[in-house]
Amino acid sequence: MAPRQPAPLRAAKEALRARLIAERVALPAREHAARSEAIARRLVALASWQNARAVLLTLPVRSEWDAGIVARAALASGKALILPRIDAPRRMLDLHRVADLAGDVIAGRHGIPEPRADCERVAPAVVDWVLIPGVAFDAHGHRLGYGGGYYDRLLPLLAPRAAKVAGAFDLQIVDAVPHARHDLPVDTIVTESRRIAARPDAP
């Protein structure tokens, strides 16, 4: 479990989280869809995506950009599509391979779409490309999540070769994300208008 963060850092994160979620919610539906399509197009054009055989991503909930577009692209291109399932008692994510988004995915904890428990279980080391969700990102790859720490616990279990990528609306890119030393950065961030190479030397 991650160390408990100082109160000022927690407060700064919560304030930023609340502001950006409100801005995301305010996007008109048509604009939200168009921006999501643009993010997805840029993501699947990445060399790391094209070379990946097993991709891990989280399907969208509420006002998040529509990563389901990328999930469908993974299945259409023959990649192994892996989705996380929350193991609340362990505060960890279990990974399962999904072959059919309509039949293999259910509403899980907090309404987050997740794979059925009987879908094939896979080890984190199988993943060679991961799309990491978040509320805010900065140019150094620092990420503000939702406060549960699930991805902070999962990422160290992935193979070193795994590309760590984030998709986000432009409005989610900020000058600096409040972070602690144990908060793990992403390698690349893709928005509807640009690609940010946060860690150019990463796999």
pLDDT (0 to 100) of residue 81: 98
- State mean pLDDT over 41-47: 97
pLDDT (0 to 100) of residue 3: 53
Judge contact between 163 and 52, C-beta under 8 A: yes
pLDDT (0 to 100) of residue 179: 81
pLDDT, averaged across the chain: 92
pLDDT (0 to 100) of residue 19: 95
Measured between alpha carbons, how far is 99 from 90 in angstroms, rounded to an integer? 26
CATH of 7-197 among 3.40.50.10420, 3.30.565.10, 1.10.8.60, 3.90.550.10: 3.40.50.10420
- State mean pLDDT over 14-38: 96
* pLDDT over 70, % of the chain: 96
Lowest mean pLDDT, pick from 41-50, 156-165, 174-183, 189-198: 174-183
SS3 content of the chain, % helix, strand, coil (to 5): 35, 20, 45
- Examine the pLDDT at 200 and tell me if it is beyond 80: no
Helices (DSSP H) in the chain: which residue ranges? 7-25, 29-44, 47-51, 68-76, 101-104, 150-154
- State mean pLDDT over 76-103: 95
- State mean pLDDT over 20-48: 97
Q: Tell me the CA distances in angstroms from 49 to 8, 24, 33, one per residue in order.
A: 37, 26, 22
- Examine the pLDDT at 82 and tell me if it is beyond 60: yes
* pLDDT over 90, % of the chain: 79
Angle between helices 68-76 and 29-44 (to 10 degrees): 40
Measured between alpha carbons, how far is 93 from 132 in angstroms, rounded to an integer? 13
- Which uninterrupted H or E stretch holds 87? strand 80-87
- State mean pLDDT over 147-158: 90
Q: pLDDT band for position 199 (50/70/90)?
A: confident
pLDDT (0 to 100) of residue 202: 65
pLDDT (0 to 100) of residue 1: 46
- Examine the pLDDT at 2 and tell me if it is beyond 60: no
Domain spans of the chain, in order of start: 7-197
Nearest to 130 by CA among 81, 195, 174: 81
